[in-house]
Amino acid sequence: MKTTFSYFSLFLFCTSTLLFSRCSTSPEALTESAESIKAVADQRVTPAKATPETREHVIRQAEVRFQVKDLSSSTQRVENLVEEMGATLTNTTQHQSEDTKTTDFVIRVQPEKFASLLRQMQKESIHLEQRTISTEDVALEYVDLEARKKAKLAVEQRFLGLLKEAKNITQILEVERQIQAVREEIESTEARLRYLQNQTAYSTIRLSMYQIVPATAPEGPSFFTRLLEAMNTGWQLWLSLVVGLFYIWPVWLAGLGIMIYLRKRNMA
């Protein structure tokens, strides 16, 4: 860990001391402030090193997708296996397309059981499509965050001490503003620590199993169904023909006129 925290703390205390120096006329107070600043300046933060405890801060994740023979049976066996391993099934999703049925799992398991659970579940596979395992060592980040949190807590305590020495409203508001800023940084650091603790305490397995569903040819209509359809089609054709004849009534009138003309001409 670099000495950034020492300089950051020194800057904050120098700012606070200058803020209160106009109102503090006591030599003892000035001496105490100077000694505090000197103590902060002399602080050195030990560089972050991974201890045996922090070496276990590893995030493990796996994404696996494979085909199974019978999805329903495999799903039941996986759920039983998760329960036997003391793991947690955080999410299950089932969906079906035209030719496949799929079940997706999100499983959280203790790191020491991660590999074993993964091997047991893959026994259901008849065709492995994807298998991705990733590990991320966050031990140094964890140590860094712990040290940063400790340093910021110390800065907060010193600001609280300066708050008691404030002489007027302006000084009080300024110190409270600094305290709020430091508190927000502490809460942000604690949130990141909680996230890392959660991710390293349990490993994550994202499993997708699918079954191919054979496409079945649709059965043709029966004889009687085809007969009824033919009769209905013939009837509709007849109606269309009759209606069509009425559509050409001008042609009928013209033909009738020609026939009458020809008959009168022959009679003459």
DSSP β-bridge partners for residue 92: 105
pLDDT digits (tens, 9 = 90+) for 247-265: 777 777 777 778 777 777 7
pLDDT digits (tens, 9 = 90+) for 95-129: 998 889 999 999 999 999 999 999 999 999 999 99
CA distance linking residue 137 with residue 141, whole number of Å? 9
pLDDT digits (tens, 9 = 90+) for 172-213: 898 899 899 999 999 999 999 999 988 899 999 999 999 998
- At residue 227 the predicted structure's pLDDT band, cuts being 50, 70 and 90, is confident
Reference 61, options 207, 197, 200, 204; nearest CA is: 204
pLDDT value at residue 191: 94
CA distance linking residue 264 with residue 268, whole number of Å? 6
CA–CA distances in Å: residue 160 to residues 12, 34, 59, 153: 13, 17, 37, 11
CA distance linking residue 70 with residue 63, whole number of Å? 21
CB 167 within 8 A of CB 24: yes
- At residue 145 the predicted structure's pLDDT band, cuts being 50, 70 and 90, is very high
pLDDT value at residue 119: 94
CA–CA distances in Å: residue 27 to residues 16, 161, 164, 166: 17, 18, 17, 16
Share of the chain above pLDDT 70, in %: 77
pLDDT digits (tens, 9 = 90+) for 37-73: 334 433 434 444 544 444 478 999 999 999 999 999 9
Cα atoms in the 13 Å half-sphere on the side-chain side of 170? 4
Classify burial at 33, counting beta carbons within 10 Å of its beta carbon; exposed 0-12, middle 13-18, buried 19 or more. buried
Q: Is the pLDDT of residue 24 over 60?
A: no
